[in-house]
Amino acid sequence: MARKYSVSRHAKGWAVYDDAGQRVSGLHSRIDGAQAMCDRMQRREDKKAVRTIRPCMCCRTAFESEGIHNRLCDRCRRVGLDLRMAG
Ligand SMILES: [Zn+2]
């Protein structure tokens, strides 16, 4: 699950907070500066969330998948390529 960021008022300006209420950015004097930062961080977070740990379809080793299309660990992917090249 991707974290959700939002802009909130801080005593000394505006800042980005995550959904746990933790401040995750520096302070901005203007809300639009904080909002731009928030958008950037949210995009990065959404991208990162696509990468999840899943078991390899071939050897069952848990690995960090780059997306739904990525079902083989690096090792098995390489072995598969070698086989294809040999055959
Ligand atoms: Zn594997």
Domain ranges of the chain: 6-50, 52-86
- Ligand 1 being an ion, which residues bring their Cβ within 5 A of it? 56, 58-59, 73, 76
The arithmetic mean of pLDDT across residues 79-83, rounded, is 76
Q: What is the pTM of this model?
A: 0.57
Q: What share of the chain is helix, strand, coil (3-state, %, to 5)?
A: 40, 25, 40
Question: Mean of the per-residue pLDDT values for the chain?
Answer: 89
**pLDDT tens digits along 38-78:** 999 999 888 877 778 889 999 999 998 877 778 899 999 98
Strand partners, 55: 62
CA 7 to ligand 1 center in whole angstroms: 41
